[in-house]
Chains A and B, each alone.
Chain A
Amino acid sequence: MASKDSKLLFAFIIVLISALLPLVYGGTYVDAYVEIALFLAPLLGFVIGYYVMLTYADETFKHLMRPLILALILWAMAEFMWSVLHSQNTEVHFPVAAEALYLLGFLLFTYALIKALKPYTTSIPAKRYVAPACISAALGIGVAWYLFSVRGVPLGEDAGYITLLYLCLDAVILFLTLVFAVSSNRGRAEPFWWYLVAFIIITLAADATYGIESVDTEYLLGEMSNSLYILSYGMLLLAFITFSSKEASTLRQVEERYYTLFKHSGAPTIMANTDNTILLANEQFEELMGYGKEDILGKMKWPDLVDAKDRKGILLMLNRMQNVGTGKPLTRELMIHKRTGETMYASVTFSFIPGSDLVAITVFDLTQRKKLEMELKKINEDLQNFTFTVSHDLKEPLRNISSLATYLKRDYEGQLDEMGVEFLSMLVTSVSTMSQLVDDLLTLSRVGRKNVDFSFVDLGALIDEVCQDIEKIITERNAKIAYHDLPKAMVQKTWMKQVFQNLITNAIKFNRTDEPTVEIACEDHDFYFEFRVKDNGIGIPAEYHDRIFKLFEQLHPREEYGGTGAGLAIVKKIIKEHRGDIWVESEEGVGTTFIFTIEKFFIGEA
């Protein structure tokens, strides 16, 4: 703050000292007061413009303001030369130098406008260009025509060319300013742009009168053009003042409000630019991470704080998000390294700030929750291991029963009556059902064991493999399986195969048509794939849409369709392992569509 104030003070002192200069030189000259006014106006414009720029303007605006205030200084210098020239009446080369300064100022202004407009050129609709271009061209051409044809300003003379040049530049600047003024995304500073438009139009008029005056001295146009110049500077000042007093002060108030929120919200938060450098950090963030402001601001890049295994994924996602520009924040659980070397699980939210390159990052420490989660996970894993062991141990006696029943039937069939043989068959069927149940339990307990790797898998090829595995049922039922636009995705191959196998088998099994058809399609979303497996089967009543995913839940008697009721529970568990979701859309008698998602950039948990 102090440096800004001292800069302003310095600028004011220069203006005050400069103000005295024309008095010293042109004190005796009659028009000296006009000259002083003409000289002071751009200078004042410079100081106020400088003040506005330092205090309120955003980056885009600063790009415009810097050359503009430089142009104002150049114009002030040119005016000063004129006043010296007039008062001394000497035949020095001041006029050429002064005109050169004017021109340089205008060129700077034009350049600044083009540069400031550049980021918007793609977002401003073409029709917004048309009206400003027509108005400026008409004004420029009209004035030039009036000057050179009606008033007879001779083009051949220097003054004529210079006037033409000024008018051209005026028209260009007018056009650019008008584009800004009518573009709604600059709406926040609208009055500013309209005053700027007025400034250019009046300057244009002043330049025109100046042109006439230089060849046609019978009118008192010199005075008029001077008045117009002063008036035009007045407009410029008004533009600055409007901006600073009304729009910007509201802006600053709002900013102040949000800055306070940022500082004292209690949530550790930082603000970073596109090359990930941290520009702003609140105290909670410093406290959480153990760094001081001097270590962080402008030096530290936030990805350095993220654990290496999470870093690539999150940067990829953010990059993607920025390109897509949904404007929605992204929250991810990441492992963060503190200064002490400790690691911390945190929920990190990234929000892009619209219209800027900045991203706000909020960090919530989840260490405590994660600890509980880990305990729960451990219990869950124990339970899973228990299921695994139990179902494994259950298989041995089952196998023995199956063997013994078969031998009993084979070797002693003659010694049993009809009932006895029937009982034996029932025993063999029961054993086979139970062994299927145990197998499904085993599969379910194996999903989620972390030793299966994720890899890039061509899902079209995967479905071909599945079709080969279940060729028997496909041929038996004359089923048609079609898929299109299936991507390559990061999945656990074995399990994903199981998903498609279960869904396709179900689609064929629960189908009474002569030609069961299964269609598999995929929609590519920003962060996930959405698959649809559609059949023309018997359908599922709405009240069962949730229940079918529960373990051992069956809608139809086992005798009719077989199965154990674990298939969809297994599918759901696998989908959850891919950070996705599964649901069903169905109409009885028409068909069923299973829809599931899998996250795109997820590469499994360590």
Chain B
Amino acid sequence: MTKRGILIIEDNVTDGLVIKRTLARHISEEITIARDGLQALSFFSQHLKGDADVVLPRLITLDLNMPKMNGFELLERIKENENTKDIPIIILTSSQLPDEIKRAYRLGANSYVIKPTDHAQYERTIEKIYEYWFEFSLIPQE
């Protein structure tokens, strides 16, 4: 089964909007936003139940500080699951604590990116994520 599109897991509405809008300028594939860990998990389970409308994403961006289920727990779940564990996960967060960076990589994160405060820089950062993961490097298609 092919993987298409991007899943943005982000509780902050504006942040989700910015990430989606910026990426949408470059790719035409589906961009989905999950507001917290549980929503993200239900997205995956819908796909596994055979819902034809739901396709596994090629790339996931993940915020760490979220209500209900935080980013670390979700990261662990995604990386434990046979169907989802090969999807690259980019942590997109404002936390720069060394312990959190270490923990994210230990749990299998593929990249750790800080959200800049300034909007222009924020857009540049997201564009760079796009360039790296969609133009420069190869990721599993299925």
Please name all residues of chain A whose beta carbon is closer than 8 Å to the beta carbon of B67 when the two chains form the complex. none
Q: Could you tell me if A399 and B98 are in contact, using CB atoms closer than 8 angstroms?
A: no
Q: Which of B35-43, B114-122, B132-140 lines the interface with chain A? A: B114-122
The reply to whether the CB of A451 lies closer than 8 angstroms to some CB of chain B is yes
The chain A residue sitting closest to B65, CB to CB, is A396
Please name all residues of chain B whose beta carbon is closer than 8 Å to the beta carbon of A554 when the two chains form the complex. none
The reply to whether the CB of B94 lies closer than 8 angstroms to some CB of chain A is yes
The reply to whether the CB of B15 lies closer than 8 angstroms to some CB of chain A is yes
The reply to whether the CB of A310 lies closer than 8 angstroms to some CB of chain B is no
- B73 shortest CB reach to chain A, Å: 20
- Given A392-B94, A396-B94, A451-B98, answer yes or no on A404-B117 (Cβ-Cβ < 8 Å): no
The chain B residue sitting closest to A398, CB to CB, is B117
> How many residues of A are counted as interface, with CB atoms below 8 angstroms from the partner's CB atoms?
18
Q: Could you tell me if A395 and B119 are in contact, using CB atoms closer than 8 angstroms?
A: no
Q: Which of A399, A403, A406, A432 contacts B94 (CB 8 A)?
A: A399
What's the Cα separation between A513 and B115 when bound, in Å? Answer: 38
Q: Could you tell me if B98 and A404 are in contact, using CB atoms closer than 8 angstroms?
A: no
- Given A395-B94, A396-B94, A403-B14, answer yes or no on A438-B119 (Cβ-Cβ < 8 Å): no
What's the Cα separation between A461 and B125 when bound, in Å? Answer: 30
What's the Cα separation between A435 and B119 when bound, in Å? Answer: 11
The reply to whether the CB of A439 lies closer than 8 angstroms to some CB of chain B is yes
Q: Could you tell me if B117 and A402 are in contact, using CB atoms closer than 8 angstroms?
A: yes
- A402 shortest CB reach to chain B, Å: 4
Q: Which of A395, A400, A432, A438 contacts B14 (CB 8 A)?
A: A400
Find residues 416-450 in chain A having any chain B CB closer than 8 Å to their own CB.
428, 432, 435, 438-439
CB within 8 Å: A-B pair count: 42
Q: Which of B17, B21, B98, B118 contacts A402 (CB 8 A)?
A: B118
- A498 shortest CB reach to chain B, Å: 15
Please name all residues of chain B whose beta carbon is closer than 8 Å to the beta carbon of A405 when the two chains form the complex. 119
- A566 shortest CB reach to chain B, Å: 15
Please name all residues of chain B whose beta carbon is closer than 8 Å to the beta carbon of A403 when the two chains form the complex. 14-15, 17-18, 119, 122
The chain B residue sitting closest to A388, CB to CB, is B97
Q: A399-B14, A402-B119 are in contact. List 17 more A-B contacts (CB 8 A).
A: A395-B94, A396-B12, A396-B94, A399-B15, A399-B115, A399-B122, A400-B12, A400-B14, A402-B117, A402-B122, A403-B14, A403-B15, A403-B18, A406-B120, A407-B21, A435-B118, A439-B117
Closest A-B pairs by Cβ, 3 of them? A435-B117, A400-B14, A402-B119
A-B contact pairs, 24 of them (CB 8 A): A392-B94, A392-B95, A395-B94, A395-B117, A396-B15, A396-B94, A399-B14, A399-B115, A399-B116, A399-B117, A399-B118, A399-B119, A400-B15, A402-B117, A402-B118, A403-B14, A403-B18, A403-B119, A407-B21, A432-B118, A435-B117, A435-B118, A439-B117, A451-B98
Write the residues of chain B forming the contact surface with A, with a CB cutoff of 8 angstroms. 12, 14-15, 17-18, 21, 94-95, 98, 115-120, 122
